[in-house]
Chain A
Amino acid sequence: MAAAGRMARATAINGFIVLLGLVVSGTLLALTGADVAAAAEALVGGSIGSPEAIRQSLVQATPILIAGLGVSFALRAGLVNIGADGQLYMGALFASVVAIFGPQLPWPIASIVMLGAALVGGFLWGALPGWMRARLGMSEVITTLLLNFVAFWIVSWAVHDPIRDPLGGGYPWTPEVPDAARLPALRMGGLIIPSGILLGLAIAAVISFVLHRTQFGFELRVLGDSPAAARWSGIPVSRRIVAALAISGGLAGLAGAAELAGNQLRLSDFFSPGFGFTALVVALVGRATPSGTVAAALFFGALAAGGGSMERVAQVPASTGLVVQGTVIAILVASRSAAARSLASRVRRLVARPRVGVA
């Protein structure tokens, strides 16, 4: 019951922060002389105003949700995975090789095999820094960050040469994923729901179960809270570190496959506009909980879709969406600072003055 109350409060606070972020960015926009009303209309219209707008928002949310869940998972074990972008690229690489160049399988087997391949690619790309941390004591913050570049250049080389589409008009990209492997969109009561987002929601549910109901997840949370206590209670710390980063990477890899098979269809070296880094932001804003990560990913997905429409409709640069995003993050971070907490407690005290002197 207490948990439900806390959740409701957190939702209310985050809603307020988002609103504040929108107001602040609106003010900034007004200062540049833009038509704020038109921009706001385009933002809302382009993100939730129509079934197509909603579909766009969900498509944008899918990779950052799935990769964000991966980042959150590692965070719960006390590990900071900055390498989601590279893991996403490796996942997409494995997925495209299997789907495009492997045996042509019927739907849905082709989809499942492709997702499995992506999982393996990301898993390996996450296990590597996990192993370096557990066995060699190297900080995963650095190794995951650097492995991003390695993954990117491997993919860049691959799409320029061995798996390049010969009919691709000279672009460094692969052929399209065959129909049988694509992730379809579902029609649900007037809405168009890309199946990738459903996959993301299902993963969120599974992670929630793993973290809170399984011994494995429990041990990861102990590790994240206190490595010394984990060691004292006999949790195999090294193995858990490798597993947590491998799973984290696997999910980021899966995000790559979902983006590939649900949106772009081709792998290129401009495949990710920084999904992995947005995923990190999503995980942090969502406080590394599955439900928080879902909420944050949906919000940032909507911002991305709405930002595009602002540019098209209201002639406001799409980067305005990034301004909103940045403002919201800044306010969120500030709202969690010690200064904000003491301010909040002061406000609470003013609102409810204790009855001094009553024995």
Chain B
Amino acid sequence: MILPLGSMGAPQPDAPARIGADGSVAAVPGGSGATPLVELRGVTKTFGDIVADDDVHLAIAEGEIHALLGENGAGKTTLMRVLAGLTRPDDGDIRWRGAPVHIGSPADAIGLGIGMMHQHDMLVSTLTVEENFELARPRPPLALGLADTRGRVAALTQRYGIDVRPDQRVETLTVGQRQWVNLLRILDGPEVRLLILDEPTASLTQSERDDVFRTLRHLRAGGVAVILIVHKLGEVFEIADRATVMRAGRVVATRPVAETSKEELAALMVGHAVETRLAGATKAPGEVILSVAGLQTTGAARDLVDVSFEVRRGEIVGVAGVDGNGQRELGECLAGIRRPSAGRIEVRGGDVTGTTPPELTRLGVARVPEDRQEHGLALGLRIWENIHLGRSASRHLVRRGVVDTARARRLAADLAARFDVRAQDLEHPVGELSGGNQQKVILARELGDDADLVVAMNPTRGLDISATQFVYEQLAAARSRGGGVLLVSFDLDELLGICDRVLVMSGGRIAGEVSGAGADRTLIGMLMGGEHHVVAGDVAL
């Protein structure tokens, strides 16, 4: 198993993990014999007609990291909420160290030593970090002791090497820092024996994720059990001891990680075998479709410095890099919502520097934004309206300012069917769809007209395995019909898996370029870390 690149962040002594880096589980109790820390027996939970969890049995051993896998809607979150006292099951019981327990409220769970970090963070943005700690810890009224909290928060952040001040407002934190606050808030409480993390890594960068994993290993060494819900199979093999796969509310299998494979887990999740890699390009790349020369910005969070590259027809070009090294700014320039201060962007030889999004759409440039819920969709509007969004310039959908709604609906229905959007009908708000289906709505809108150039930013972030696979297929389809694709991603496995070439960004520059298949990860890591002076000569084409 290839381990991901080491973090470029603050060095920390690795916890004395008792599990080898190869994921061997010899030392882990939880097989036969030892009493599990917690055991769910026959847990069933229904919501109206939906059976979220169906007679689920699950045993977690002390000191193990247990991955919980499954497609969106498989029932993972609901099951964990039962453990955390947030959802009352219809049926089934729970044993804690062999003894039956009743977890009727979050307080019961905390009392046992169960802490849960939620899929959607529950911090109050307008409050400070320490105030959020205060909120999490119920105490008698009038016993506010912020000074005391401040000391605890400071100690915790120091201990885990987190660069967050107690009096900092949560809204000023990065996604990764927020995640840390969430985690530390749980560790701040009474001693945690079972830590539940619901998709904690979905929006983290690789180095942030590495830091979290290091902490989990440390906790495991102290005997804490961890249930980790993730979608990326690579992460399972990197950190977990055992993995349980759920499908449609049922547990399909529990496997020691050392005795299974990505292919097996993927197949268990979706119920049939899946391709985890795309076939490479079949044809040699054609003419240049996107050409970027000397691009610069000013006033951005990370300014671009002399960024130049080309994308040709029939190739997928990746952009790798640690979050915050100019990828977002590059994407925004290409999407027509940020004006570069210098340089030139050409599509099929025509200058499009500083042009508007509708003009780009007309030119066949598809843009998949990084944050689908913020930038890509108007969540309160209907599905068909979101497909119409930004397409008004095309196909005579608008005549003299009046929308031909019948035609727009028909077109949307057509695209939704082609892109496999699963929805009752297109009249529902798009916000009611799952993340994967929301992404399909964006793909349907952007790629539907056989886009010539696709600029996609982290398009698979937080998606489950089928939805991720779907996105890859669509990008590959754009390539094979002769389009060019630029894929910005923080996921190196993804980039190396589907890209023909990968550009590495660092400090707002293109630090170097490697070919997709068989690329040297160490080299990429050095490029990402800004070591391009040393190695650029060896890799740049």
Closest chain B CB from A213 CB (angstroms):
6
Q: Are B385 and A228 in contact (CB under 8 A)?
A: no
Q: Using CB atoms, name the residue of chain B closest to A222.
A: B378
Asked, given contacts A222-B389, A356-B44, A357-B91, whether A215 binds B398 with beta carbons under 8 Å apart, the answer is yes
Interface string of A346-358 (1 = CB under 8 A from B): 0000000010110
User: B403, A218: Cβ atoms under 8 Å?
Assistant: yes
Chain A, Cβ-Cβ closest to B408: A218
B401 touches which of A2, A216, A225, A230 (Cβ 8 Å):
A216
Nearest residue in A to B332 (C-beta to C-beta)?
A232
A326 CB, min distance to chain B CBs, angstroms: 29
Interface of A is mostly: helix
Q: Is the CB of A221 within 8 A of B91?
A: no
A3: chain B residues within 8 A (beta carbon): 427
Interface centre among A212, A215, A218, A233 (most CB of B within 10 A): A233
Given contacts A3-B427, A232-B335, are A215 and B403 in contact (CB under 8 A)? yes
Would you call B336 an interface residue if the criterion is a C-beta within 8 Å of the partner chain's C-beta atoms? Answer: yes
In chain A, residues 221-258, which have Cβ atoms closer than 8 Å to a Cβ of chain B?
Answer: 221-222, 225-226, 228-234
**Complex CA distance for A234 and B337, rounded to whole angstroms:** 8
Q: Which of B374, B385, B389, B398 has the most CB of A within 10 A?
A: B389
Q: B378 and A225: CB pair below 8 A?
A: yes
CB closest chain-A residue, reference B381: A225
- Do A356 and B427 have beta carbons less than 8 Å apart? no
Q: Interface 1/0s, chain A 1-24, versus B by CB < 8 A?
A: 011000000000000000000000
Q: Does B358 contact A (CB under 8 A)?
A: yes
Given A229-B374, A229-B376: A213 touches B381 (CB 8 Å cut-off) = no
Nearest Cβ on chain B to A174's Cβ, whole angstroms? 39
Q: Is the CB of B376 within 8 A of A234?
A: no
Q: Report B248 CB to chain A, min CB distance, Å.
A: 12
CB distance B44 to A354 under 8 Å? no
On chain A, the residues within 8 Å of B385 by CB distance are: 218, 221-222
The digit string for B384-401, where 1 denotes a CB below 8 A from any CB of A, is 010011101000001001
B25 within 8 Å of A (CB atoms): no
Q: In the bound complex, do residue A2 and residue B91 qualify as a contact, i.e. CB atoms below 8 Å apart? A: no
A214 CB–B CB distance under 8 Å: yes
Q: Out of A215, A230, A354, A356, which one reaches B392, CB within 8 Å?
A: A215
Contacts of B427 in A (CB 8 A): 2-3
Name the B residues within 8 Å of A213 (CB-CB): 402-403, 405
Complex Cα distance, B382 from A3, in Å, reads: 12
Residue of A nearest to B359 (CB): A234
Contacts of B91 in A (CB 8 A): 356-357
The answer for the CA separation of A357 and B337 in the assembled complex, in Å, is: 53
Residues of B within 8 A of A2 (CB): 425, 427
Whether the Cβ atoms of B388 and A218 lie closer than 8 Å is: yes
Residue of A nearest to B405 (CB): A213
Q: For the complex, what is the distance from the CA of A212 to the CA of B425, rounded to whole Å?
A: 18
Contacts of B405 in A (CB 8 A): 212-213
- Assess whether A214 is in contact with B357, with CB atoms less than 8 Å apart: no
Which of the listed residues A2, A3, A215 has the most CB atoms from chain B within 10 Å of its own CB?
A: A215
B376 & A354 in contact (Cβ 8 Å cutoff) = no
Considering only CB atoms, which chain B residue lies closest to A233 in the complex?
B390
Known: A226-B378, A357-B91. A232 touches B48 (CB 8 A): no
Cβ of A359: which chain B residues have Cβ within 8 Å of it?
54
Known: A232-B335, A234-B358. A225 touches B46 (CB 8 A): no
Q: Does B369 contact A (CB under 8 A)?
A: yes
Q: Which of B49, B388, B390 contacts A234 (CB 8 A)?
A: B390
22 contacting pairs across A/B (C-beta < 8 A): A2-B427, A3-B427, A212-B405, A213-B403, A213-B405, A222-B381, A222-B385, A225-B378, A229-B375, A229-B376, A229-B378, A230-B378, A232-B337, A232-B375, A233-B357, A234-B356, A234-B359, A234-B390, A354-B46, A356-B90, A357-B90, A357-B91
Beyond A214-B403, A218-B388, A356-B90, list 14 extra A-B contacts (CB 8 Å): A3-B427, A213-B403, A215-B403, A218-B403, A222-B385, A229-B376, A231-B337, A232-B367, A232-B376, A233-B357, A233-B389, A234-B356, A356-B91, A357-B90
The 5 closest A-B pairs by CB, nearest first: A234-B357, A233-B390, A225-B378, A225-B380, A234-B358
